[in-house]
Structure 1
Amino acid sequence: MTCRLKNYIQVKKLFLLLAHILLVEIDMWFVFIIAPILGAFIGWITNWLAIKLIFRPYVAIRIPLINYSIQGVIPKRRQEIACSVGNVVATQLLSLEDLVGQINMPENQRKAIEILSGSVKNHLHERLPMFLPLPVKNTIVQIIEDILRREAPLLLARVSKDLSTELSSSLNLSLLVQDKINRLDLEQLEHLVLSIASKELKHIEALGAIIGFFIGLFQALLFFLL
């Protein structure tokens, strides 16, 4: 009886030892599986949330207990962004001098003269009296067209100079850009940005998941090594 009891106790101890080893192994593999997956999820959700917070919420949401408000970066700083973009456009990207310079370019002047000449020619053919013979009409149109082509470059240069002076005193390009940005619908702007940069934003989300996965794996290794 005593011998059987001893054998029973030894078998029970062996069973408990095997069970403990098995549970440790299960815990180890469980940590090695769960930690990287959890890290990947946290990395992905963090970057996804950060991207969403660029635009949303459109209107500030106040948290009563901590007296803190949450609002998207662009809606919250819309005025500052519009001001910065307007100044950059007006001073570095597209000034009034650039616009007038485009008008004064020989190629653009030739196009303007061709359009003006064709319009005047059609207008004259429609407006000249019907009783005039066709050769006379053609002669009149040709004379006016020749005068127009000869004088148009000087006229365009004078107009562009007057236009530059007038626009410089009356048009503020920076304020115009700011006004356009401030009038943009935030939902449409978000749609536009996400449609253009959707691929890059998906890469950012995936990168967060990858980094989170390796951080979780590293933490699992530290858990068993320390």
Structure 2
Amino acid sequence: MGAILEDLARHWPLYLSIPVVAALIGYGTKLVAIRMMFRPLEFIGVKPFLGWQGIVPKRAARMAGIACDTMTQQLISPADVVSRLDAGRVASEIEKPLMAAVEEIVREVAGQYQAGLWESLPARAQRMVIHRVQAEAPKMVAAVLELIQRNVDSVFDLKDMVVTNLVRDKALLNRIFQEAGRKEFQFIARSGIVFGGLIGIVQMIAWVLFKLPLIMPLFGLFTGWFTDWLALKMIFHPKQPVRYFGLFEWQGLFLKRRAEVSEAYGELIAKEIITPHNVIEAVLRGPLSDRVLALIQRQVDEELAKHTSLAKPLVVLAVGGKRYQEMKQTIAGLIMARLPETLSYVEDYAEDAMDIRNMLVTKMKELPPEEFEGLLRPAFQQDEWILITTGALLGFAVGELQVLLLEQFAG
């Protein structure tokens, strides 16, 4: 015992460094693990095995799909996105660009299908035709929007829109998890200092008593592994507040911050993903856009039938039956092509009307704990073992270095 105390008195600064290094191992392995989750965005190294890509961007499609499942199944539906838009207000908001688009379409169609007749008309007569079509255009746009709203599930794939945007923009996908779990990631890193330091005290005592070289790397490995594992547990468990030893209460940190996370998450989704611009692009250029075109063709057909009912035989005779069908399809195609640019003028109104942010925040706060956890948990669950193993191996390597230093200076 006397020899141990004498050794301790002589080398106490060196021995005190053991828990300090253990705390640094705990902290450092957490920082590395967190960074490995999100960086780099693209694979760096020699494929397939020699190198690394952040876990979230590497699994971008799956991560986006999981995040989107929670969003679209529990929080928001296609009907929620478009049902709040007033068709008449939309037509009013886009009146100016709509009038210009209508004039271009009339001139293009007339020039293509009745070039000689159209060119022979006086400018005043051409203008009267254009004005008549322009007068009906807002009603037609409103009618098309109402058709889309009634058939929203068949023309708007919300999940595809969200997943496509997130897979294309991996940095944005990272931001979703980082924003939602900002304080949780800070907790993971800082908890490494505390847990690592406590384990380091035990490590120091074991070294002073036994001086076995294997102690340091084994404790380093245990510190790296255990602190990663425990920090992840403390983020999500328990789901409800629990009092331990009658001294302190703990609830999974992510679940405890439900209100704060909901605000940040709702803001990000509304500003970056489910935006009026993205919704318009998804409806008019997404995988179901052919169905939207069919709705427009249907409305064009109704409008032409309404305004040419008496003259239709003459129109068909003038341009031919096949050409008449082609003309209807051409009109619908031209409308479809110009709608994205025309509807861009309605984005400010649509953002206020849809109110995606507040809708998401309200519904997120009502989610059961298990479903709320699903917003962030996928970022940890996918290849979680790699992060914990990396922390353990880094801890083992630093422990080996500690052995060399201790034997060098206290040998």
Q: Give the TM-score band, short-chain normalised.
A: 0.5 to 0.7
Which of 352, 358, 369 is the aligned partner of 1:175?
358
In the superposition, relative to structure 1, how do residues 161 and 39 fare at CA in structure 2: closer, same or farther (>3 Å)? closer
Does 2:401 correspond to 1:218? yes
2:260 corresponds to which residue? Answer: 80
Q: Deviations over 1:50-74 (max 9, x none)?
A: 11122111122234665x4322221
User: Are the equivalent residues in 1 in contact too, given 2:275–2:351 (CA < 8 A)?
Assistant: no
Query: C-alpha distance in 2, partners of 1:151/1:54?
Result: 54
**Distance across 2 between alignment mates of 1:86 and 1:95:** 12
Shift of 1:185: 3.5
C-alpha contact 1:117 1:149 (8 A) present in aligned 2: no
Give 2:219's aligned amino acid. Answer: L
Q: Which runs of 5+ in 2 are unaligned?
A: 1-209, 302-323
Instruction: Show the 5 A alignment for 1:64-213.
Output: 66=247, 68-105=248-285, 110-114=290-294, 150=331, 167-188=350-371, 190=373, 194=377, 197-213=380-396
Aligned length: 179
Q: Taking structure 2 as the reference length, what is the TM-score of the superposition?
A: 0.34
2:228 to 47, 55, 67: 47
1:54 is paired with a residue whose SS is helix
- TM-score of the aligned structures, taking structure 1 as reference length: 0.56
Structure 2 distance, partners of 1:209, 1:117, is 63
> Structure 2 CA distance, aligned partners of 1:42 and 1:169?
51
CA deviation after TM superposition for structure 1 residue 105, in Å: 5.0
CA RMSD of aligned residues (A): 4.4
Structure 1 residues 87-126: Cα deviation after superposition (integer angstroms, max 9, x where no partner): 112122332243235445599765313256589x9xxxxx
Structure 1 residues 164, 103: CA separation in 2 closer, same or farther (over 3 Å shift)?
A: farther
- Structure 1 residue matching 2:291: 3-state secondary structure: helix
User: Which has the larger Rg?
Assistant: 1
Of 60, 79, 95, 2:241 maps to 60
Identity across matched positions, percent = 21
Q: 1:94 to 1:190 in 2, by over 3 A?
A: closer
Cα deviation code 1:2-56 (max 9, x no counterpart): xxxxxxxxxxxxxxxxxxxxxxxxx55xx11233213211221110011112211
Distance 1:169 1:34 in 2: 62
Supply the distance in 2 between the matched residues of 1:69 and 1:111 (Cα, whole angstroms): 55
Higher relative contact order (CA 8 A, sep 6+): 1
Q: Determine helix, strand or coil for the equivalent of 2:214.
A: helix
Question: Conserved in 1, the CA contact under 8 Å of 2:255 and 2:373?
Answer: no
